[in-house]
């Protein structure tokens, strides 16, 4: 497979405070970007990349950030192509509220306007529906209202399907919206108001510390990687207080009983591979191992054995990237 190339200008990501990223962190970011380009340019090719490091901290988060930067156009496209007219009565939805908040509601129906024929979406904010459940609350004598918006207006206010926990009070779209905008200058509203899982991160609970620690800066605005990747937790590791996510997190300890599809999967640590590899299907896969962990050796061996059996050759350096001497790299591609 030829080298993936792209002429775009990448964001200048620095350590919070403005210092350049350490060479290993820059490499992991670039490897993520490079993997994203491979995903875009060579669809259908499954790739496994293995990196061993003296310390796992921040490395997989940087890789995921690079992948997201390279492929966010696909996420936006997914959002824009969502057909809202296919929503069914009772489906949960959200839409953008004023003051950078999102509100949760219940979809009622989609009817064509009698004059123009344009689809009109009818829905009810959850807080109104709950008023209805309880009857006429407090001093208010009004009936719970139902809202209507044309399809065009609904798109403009980022109305979207929602499958999380119900919430009655509007929630913030982001904990750090300026930082998010600096990374995704266009379409940031679409990304903040929709859940479209693009990356899957599998790892230790300490991965959350990497994701939520204020470590990086873009164009003078600083924040944490979770502000950009918007990582949703599983039931063992609940997510933050926003409602929409772009990245799915699985605990390496989790008993996964259902398949999960993602564009990219990051296995952070030895427990996560090979245990979860049969449940998470992604085209681009990174396994990050700490060379100090006892399980890393067996994980490498399991990995090597998998591909030796398939007769696939190992590549020991990533094409087009300068690898720091502190890291080890191996790569396999499905034929």
Partner 1 sequence: MGFDDAQRAYDNCTNGKIELHVVSHPGIESLFGICKDFARTLLDNGIDPTVIKVGRSEIYRLRRLTTSLAMPFDHADMHIKEIRDRLGRLAQDVNYAATKKHLETAMAVCDGVLAVPSNPLEPMLTELVKSGAAIVTKDQSMRDSLTGWVSHTYTSVHLQVMSIGDLRNLDSASRLIYLMSPTYASWKPEVPEWRFARDPKAPESHFIMYPFGEMEVEIPGLIPDSPPRRKISSRVPLQVPFFDATVDTETEWTVDERKAAGSNTGELDELVLGRYVRLAGGFSTFLEAGKEATVFTVTKDSTGKLDVLRESVHALEADRFVVLRVEGTDSDFIQEEADRLGATPFRKSQRRWQEALREARRREGSLTRMRERIKTIHDLDNTGLVDWLTNPRRIGPQSFSDFEKLCAYLQLTGECRDLWEDLQKIRGLHLRAGAGAPRTLRRLLETRQWNDPALQNPGFLIIDRVAEGLGKIGLYRILQIGKVHPVDAWRINAIEKVEARGTELVR
Binding site for partner 1 (CB under 8 A): 15, 21-22, 24-25, 50, 52-59, 61, 205-206, 208-210, 213, 215, 236-237, 253, 255, 257, 271, 289, 291-297, 300, 304, 314, 316, 324-326, 328-330
State in angstroms the smallest separation of the CB of 280 from partner 1.
17
* Contact residues for 169 (Cβ-Cβ < 8 A; gap 6+): 127
State in angstroms the smallest separation of the CB of 236 from partner 1.
7
* Contact residues for 269 (Cβ-Cβ < 8 A; gap 6+): 56, 203, 204, 252, 288, 289, 290, 293, 295
Q: Indicate the residue among 50 and 64 with the shorter CB distance to partner 1.
A: 50
Q: Indicate the residue among 118 and 209 with the shorter CB distance to partner 1.
A: 209
Q: Indicate the residue among 251 and 283 with the shorter CB distance to partner 1.
A: 251
Tokens linked to 269:
């640590």
Q: Indicate the residue among 40 and 256 with the shorter CB distance to partner 1.
A: 256
Tokens linked to 98:
């004023």
CA 253 to CA 275: how far, in whole Å?
9
Contact between 221 and 179 (Cβ < 8 Å): yes
CA 301 to CA 279: how far, in whole Å?
20
Contact between 239 and 233 (Cβ < 8 Å): yes
State in angstroms the smallest separation of the CB of 293 from partner 1.
7
State in angstroms the smallest separation of the CB of 34 from partner 1.
19
Q: Indicate the residue among 120 and 315 with the shorter CB distance to partner 1.
A: 315
CA 198 to CA 64: how far, in whole Å?
10
Question: Taking the CB of residue 192, how many other CB atoms lie within 10 A of it?
Answer: 23
Q: Indicate the residue among 25 and 192 with the shorter CB distance to partner 1.
A: 25
CA dihedral 194, 197, 199, 202 (to 10 degrees): 120
Q: Indicate the residue among 28 and 265 with the shorter CB distance to partner 1.
A: 28
Contact between 279 and 272 (Cβ < 8 Å): no
State in angstroms the smallest separation of the CB of 97 from partner 1.
30
State in angstroms the smallest separation of the CB of 25 from partner 1.
7
State in angstroms the smallest separation of the CB of 153 from partner 1.
41
């Amino acid at each position: 497979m030829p080298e993936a190339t792209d002429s775009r200008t990448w964001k200048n990501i620095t350590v919070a405070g403005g210092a350049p990223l350490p060479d290993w962190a820059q490499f992991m970011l670039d490897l993520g970007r490079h993997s994203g380009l491979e995903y875009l340019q060579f669809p259908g090719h499954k790739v496994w990349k293995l990196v061993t490091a003296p310390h796992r901290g921040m490395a997989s988060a940087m890789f995921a950030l690079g992948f997201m930067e390279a492929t966010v156009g696909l996420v936006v496209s997914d959002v824009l192509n969502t057909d809202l007219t296919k929503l069914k009565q009772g489906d949960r939805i959200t839409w953008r509220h004023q003051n950078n908040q999102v509100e949760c509601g219940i979809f009622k129906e989609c009817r064509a306007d009698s004059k123009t024929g344009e689809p009109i979406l009818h829905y009810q904010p959850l807080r109104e529906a709950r008023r209805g459940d309880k009857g006429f609350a407090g001093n208010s004598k009004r009936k719970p209202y139902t809202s209507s918006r044309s399809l065009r207006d609904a798109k403009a206010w980022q109305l979207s399907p929602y499958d999380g926990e119900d919430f009655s009070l509007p929630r913030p779209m982001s904990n750090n919206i300026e930082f998010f905008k600096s990374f995704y200058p266009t379409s940031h509203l679409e990304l903040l108001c929709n859940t479209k899982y693009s990356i899957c991160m599998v790892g230790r609970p300490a991965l959350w510390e990497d994701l939520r620690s204020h470590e990086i800066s873009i164009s003078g605005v600083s924040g944490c990687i979770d502000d950009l990747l918007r990582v949703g937790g599983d039931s063992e590791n609940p997510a933050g207080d926003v409602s929409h996510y772009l990245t799915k997190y699985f605990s390496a300890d989790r008993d996964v009983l259902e398949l999960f599809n993602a564009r990219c999967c990051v296995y952070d640590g030895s427990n996560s591979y090979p245990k979860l590899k049969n449940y998470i299907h992604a085209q681009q896969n990174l396994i990050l191992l700490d060379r100090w962990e006892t399980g890393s050796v067996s994980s490498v061996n399991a990995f090597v054995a998998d591909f030796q059996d398939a007769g696939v050759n190992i590549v020991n350096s990533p094409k087009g990237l300068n690898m720091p001497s502190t890291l080890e790299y191996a790569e396999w591609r499905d034929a």
